A and B are shown apart, each in its own frame.
Chain A
């Protein structure tokens, strides 16, 4: 999935010399990824794996894909590392200015909409799959997903990235609405573990952030401490 997208992007680089250099030298840096976000009563839990790959080379095994947009709004990034970092920086800067103008923290929906404006209007030039999640005082915990074409939709649970393909069935079967905070963290941890052990483009540690009205609680579940499932 990631490599097909790369081939589309690097048309300019296809010369006969490309076959002489290792494949990872011609590959865009991608976050082939497993990301997810889940709403619960009082906030949201966002989670991601920590692998950044260039072709089949792991260029960063401890990446932080959970990016701060504001103090109570985070985004999970998948797709091109450069594109998603640039977009997140722009939206974060807009939200900072907005906070000064409004005199209060911006709404999650506003941040999500700003992401969408960029992802939709520049859809042919970007490769960015982003999940925006956070807490605000008007609607509480919210998760908005913005896939490749730039549409935006609010969901109680959102998964994304190349690793997500392996856990659609798992979340359909195992997700229960109205879980409490610790149950939600546990669900995110288990789901991401399942995704990253099957997806070659995902791996490393599971990073989780719990966002509530009281702030952001960041956690790391180290790779050798992840739960063990069927290993066949």
Chain B
């Protein structure tokens, strides 16, 4: 079905990695606040993470316009549920499943939403963390990340879990911040301002305008001189 109108097949303003992990008592998600326009760090306070309901939060990397589009659709969905007198609030598992269908169908029409999403929250009293991307790949895991996060953050989280299976809230937060710090060192498209979401059985808390610049360690620069 080609109506002659289609979205472009490449992202314009885009966001980089999202990292999420399940800990003992909840789920945590983090994403930095940068919208890159190619190599230009164009928009440095973009919110890529949002609360859907008390049981689910969503963060996306990829095209920011597509993220804003899907966010508005989901927000309307939640409003419709409320107005219709919902019996079950949209939970993370349901959101993940729905998002997979939407993204896969768009891809099958050659009109993808250029996104890699991480859904975090609770499904039937169990912590839930899932990944969906622009071609409809979807899975659940205890630690999930997109983009560079897959190469740097996921191994860091797995290593921490090898030492201690169940992480506490503070340990999880420290680990996530460490992951974002490493991503800031090694990803050209990362930024030091970020958001963090903490989902517990009590609800979703989003911490905005966090800044990791002062915690970064550049001491090694003092030991380097020349290139030999």
Chain A contact residues, CB within 8 Å of chain B:
1-3, 32, 50-51, 53, 55-58, 61-64, 67-68, 85, 162, 166, 197-201, 203-205, 207, 218, 220, 222-224, 231-232
Contact = CB atoms under 8 A, between A and B. Distances in A.
Contacts of B213: 223-224
B220 interface: yes
A204 B193 CA distance: 15
B66 to A, nearest CB: 19
Contacts of A3: 38-39
A224 B225 contact: no
Contacts of A62: 218, 220-221, 224
Interface in B189-204: 189, 193
Contact of A204 (B39, B43, B221, B222): B221
Describe B's contact surface by its main secondary structure. mixed
Given A67-B227, A200-B39, A223 B218 contact: yes
B187 A64 contact: no
Interface residues of B, number: 29
A198 B221 contact: no
Contacts of B186: 57-58, 61
Given A199-B40, A223-B218, A218 B225 contact: yes
Interface in B40-84: 40-45
Contacts, number: 83
B210 interface: no
B40 A198 contact: yes
A59 to B, nearest CB: 9
Contacts of A63: 224, 227
A220 B45 CA distance: 28
Contacts of B148: 56-57
B187 to A, nearest CB: 6
Interface string B108-133: 00000000000000000000000000
